Amino acid sequence: MKKGIAVAGTILVDKINEISAYPKAGELTKIHAVRLAVGGMVPNDGLDLIKMNPSLPVYAIGCVGSDSDGEYVVKTLEDNGVNTDGIQINTTERTSFTDVMSIIGGQRTFFTYAGASAKFGFDAFDWDNLPVKMLHLGYFLLLDRVDDGDGLKILKKAKALGIKTSIDLVSENSNRYALVRPCLEYVDNLIVNETEAGALCGIQPSKENLVDIVKKLKDYGVRERVIMHTPDIGICYDGNNLTTIASYCLPNGYIKGTTGAGDAFCSGALAGIYEEKTDEEILEMATVSATCSLRTADATSGIETYEKMEEFCKQFQRRKLCL
């Protein structure tokens, strides 16, 4: 019987600069703190998953450069128990990185270098020795070969092997979301934020449109569920039932950064799906994980075992649900 989750795709290093405000062109702002952290979907989701459930087999699949950043990523994953046998070393490209401008307690802006992750594609997988129950692939719109057709090939192959699939995207101001739509009929679980979801189906992601968005995405062929997260609410639609859960009311000063909140939500949802929880329980695990991620500036430090995070979140009340 297959066990575990493979997280495949974007691997990079986040160079996080904490600032008080983002400057206009020609202006200067002071950097209050600088830190190095692993980033991208593979490290973020991989570390979150294994921290939530240390007994869960987690496999990382992707590409890094033959440099100190690549060594740092691989060592960080291995030290936390993530299997890194599926990470390829590219000798001609440096490890992908992102300079993150993180406003303290607020939004962040990214400047990314494609690097080795741009070489990731179908041939990164050892398909004859992939023992997993689930495969999570991302980020679409950030991986050149995935966007150019390898993403569809990967999902088709995984489905042929009986592996449950899920995908994640990046938020991009473009018309390239149409590239993802042919993949959706090979996706069991689509997990995206409201910006990505709206762009993917061509509907403005205002509050009154959220239900229409998840229903339209399900109609594109998503097999099991569409899961969408916003700062205020999480939504799950399985083709028949619509499930919603409100975010927590958090005190002033609680949020130290939002760099990994989306990935933490996704990881909580993946853990719930893996454990075959109900849709309500899946959303509960997702919002608890995202809430704990918000208490640290980097993407993964706020994540603990799910039991500890669940207990921690009992101190908060949920927002009034209005959809």
210/205 Cα distance (integer angstroms)? 6
Measure the CA–CA gap between 132 and 282, rounded to whole angstroms.
20
Q: CA dist 221 to 182, 185, 216, Å? A: 9, 4, 9
Which fold, 5-20+33-315?
Answer: UDP-N-acetylmuramoyl-L-alanine:D-glutamate ligase (3.40.1190)
pLDDT tens column, 164-213 = 999 999 988 888 999 999 999 999 999 999 999 999 999 999 999 999 99
pLDDT digits (tens, 9 = 90+) for 281-322: 999 999 999 999 999 978 899 999 999 999 999 999 999 876
Domain ranges of the chain: 5-20+33-315
**How many whole angstroms separate alpha carbon 60 and alpha carbon 5?**
9
34-to-4, 9, 18, 148, 251 alpha-carbon distances in Å: 34, 26, 6, 35, 25
Give the separation between CA 1 and CA 6, rounded to whole angstroms. 15
pLDDT in tens, 34-61: 888 899 999 999 999 999 999 999 999 9
Quick check: 100 pLDDT over 90?
no
Check residue 45 and give its pLDDT.
98
pLDDT of 320: 84
